[in-house]
Amino acid sequence: MLIPQIKKTGVLLAMTATAVLAQPSPQQPKMTQNPFLASYTTPHQTAPFDKIKNADYLPALKDGLAQGRKDVDAIVTSTAAPTFENTIVALERAGDLLGKVTSVLFNLNSAETTPDLQKIVKEASPLLSEYGNDITLNANLFARIKTVYEQRTKLKLDPESAMLLEKTYKRFSRNGANLDDKGKERLRAIDKELSQLSLQFGENVLNETNEYMMVVTDEKDLAGLPDFARDAAKATAKQKGKEGWVFTLQAPSYGPFMQYADNRELRKKLYMASNGRGFHGDKNDNSAIINKIVNLRYERANLLSYKTHADFVLEESMAGSRDKVQSFLDELVSYARPAAERQLVELTTYAKGHGFREDKLQAWDSGYYSEKLKKEKYDLDDETLKPYFKLENVLNGVFTIANKLYGVTFKERTDIPVYNPEVKTFDVFDKDGKFLAVFYGDYFPRAGKRSGAWMNDIQGQKIENGTNIRPHIVNVCNFTRPTDTKPSLLTFYEVTTLFHEFGHGLHGMLANGKYESLSGTSVPRDFVELPSQVMENWCYDPEALKLFAKHYQTGEVIPNELIEKIRASQNFMAGMANLRQLRLGLIDMYYHGQKPTGETISQVEGRVDSVANLFPHVDGVAISPAFSHIFAGGYSAGYYSYKWSEVLDADAFEFFKEKGGLENKAAAESFRKNVLEKGGSEKPMELYKKFRGREPSPKAMLRRSGLIL
């Protein structure tokens, strides 16, 4: 998953908020002590996390806002006629300090929060929203931009500069520049409230996740759990000062319990806790926040002359329209649901043959019996595979694959400041030895880190004054921790997650554009998942697996027999998995693709579940109140993009495999040149066609998922 943040362009593009680190510190008597206000002296001018204190953020941010306004004012008050350089490029370069501060603040807000830092983010968020609106609603600035835009056919710009001009103009026109004063005032109020609501939504989910723990004191209740899950729960109990074993809602704890625990009542208890987050009618309840967000987004879209929020968002997407996305999701449901129904019958029959006594499986039974059926059909489970996936080996493996494909190498450093001692840092070099990027890897769950996995940047890539400023890229995950007796051994799902986020990382690290706002992952939402999902495919490739899947005790390379089982089981319950993903996309579109209906969360989800959920309804749980992708992140009206990108990545990977896999240098070079390096400098379909030689076909994805022959 990619997390959007403020990009330094003088215009507020996007912002995320969840949680953050900072250390308590006394008020600093002199602004010169603020590390943001001086040039960094660290390696590659990386962020000096060891020197940044809580008291630094707001003063530096306010200085950044003032500097950004000054930069913009210089553009507006210029007596020179508007040109591409003195207006469009000048705006792109405006607000360096603001980008410097916010990139650190919002990265940490996701990875290592404290209550103090959450207060800082809450104070900063409306200031940033106001700043963004001050720029996009500046009539004189827009007049200069419009003048340049209307001359675009005469300017003879290169494709990247032409794209910057187009996106700059649209960013203003799509965000209120053409509104009257009353409309602009209302837009400001909406944006300010939305920024605060999204922050609160994310904090509520984080609070619910951190506050819950299921304490088990009777060892009989651990029946079925493999040693790695027991050891992790024992370590968590010790950490939290509890006797026995503690299970949490963090993925490395929650997932194995739902897969392996024989105690059905405890599986239900954990399921209800996870799927009830933000839905308990208490201080962390997100129901009212969802209602406000959905209505405000709809009002904002109408104010800007769009029928719905989805129409506004999708106008600039690869898909292009709400109707096309809805048709895409509906078509995939028509393939996935029949397959899911057959698989659920198979799973229910298996369960009844192994002691299940009820008519229908519940959601908390699915993972448990699926794991057993998978073991029986393929003689394969996480307990068998985990010894081959030591975290360090998997990380070295993804580095090696990146080297084989693109020639890049990684060298670990210990002198780059980090925001937590667990974070690893690496220099990244190109095949000619030239420095490419700094890579940060942050892999274990903590109380201050939100759940999930994502990529972000602390410094974006751009070319300025003839210098190619290289990016600082972050991968954040929540993997199984080492225990007293074993290193961090990953489930196969965690392996694919690491590869996925690393694919986003490569998109950032290999960026090679002129303008930061078009660089790296600054692409339409339904194109951004292509590099990440292409990387996942190598996890199923025998040649790639043998590079890193080695037994942590013996060093034995994963045997061919296990590789074949991994590949054979790739489509196991694929219909059900596809239907779950489509359900989320349909929920997103129901909220954002029409006028708000006033229905309750349960009613909304009930409508979607009638076509995209095969399990019985359960009171007290809902997906929406913890659906951070669309209510606290940047995926509103965009969650479909995961499936859209699957069409792209399956088609793309077939091209890699057609002509030699890891040795297909032509495919790798084309993918690097036309996708990874280009960012958003051209239309995504044009970039894809340059890479592949044609438009993508959905048949590769349907074949890979086993939904067609």
Torsion of CA 653, 654, 657, 661, to 10 degrees: -10
Closest to 142 (Cα-Cα) out of 68, 91, 66? 91
Per DSSP, the three-state class of 347 is: helix
Measure the CA dihedral 399/401/402/403, to 10°.
Answer: 90
Which residues are tagged catalytic? Answer: 501
Listed in sequence order, the residues at least 6 apart from 6 whose beta carbon sits closer than 8 Å to its beta carbon are 12, 13, 14, 15, 98, 99, 102, 103, 106, 128
Q: Taking a C-beta distance cutoff of 8 angstroms, is the pair 519, 511 a contact?
A: yes
Q: From residue 388, give the alpha-carbon distance in Å to each of 67, 451, 553.
A: 52, 25, 9
With CA atoms as reference, report the closest residue to 452 among 278, 195, 284, 209.
209
Q: Cβ of 95: how many Cβ atoms within 10 Å?
A: 28
Structure tokens at 255: 């997932």
Per-residue three-class SS string for 172-201: HHCCCCCCCHHHHHHHHHHHHHHHHHHHHH
Q: List CB contacts of 674: < 8 A, sequence separation 6 or more.
A: 687, 688, 690, 691
| Both structure tokens of 545 | 């697996």
Cα 47 to Cα 41, 66, 406, distances in angstroms: 9, 21, 27
Q: What is d(CA 237, CA 227) in angstroms, rounded to the nearest whole number?
A: 15
Strands (E), 12-114: none
Cβ atoms of residues 83 and 149 within 8 Å: no
Hey, what are 15's tokens? 């912002």
Three-state secondary structure call for residue 19: coil
Euclidean distance between CA atoms 169 and 148, whole angstroms? 9
Q: Which amino acid is at 187?
A: L
Q: Residue 325 and residue 117: Cα distance in Å, rounded?
A: 38
Side-chain half-sphere CA neighbours of 363 within 13 A = 20
Q: Give the residue from 220, 227, 208 showing the smallest Cα distance to 279.
A: 208
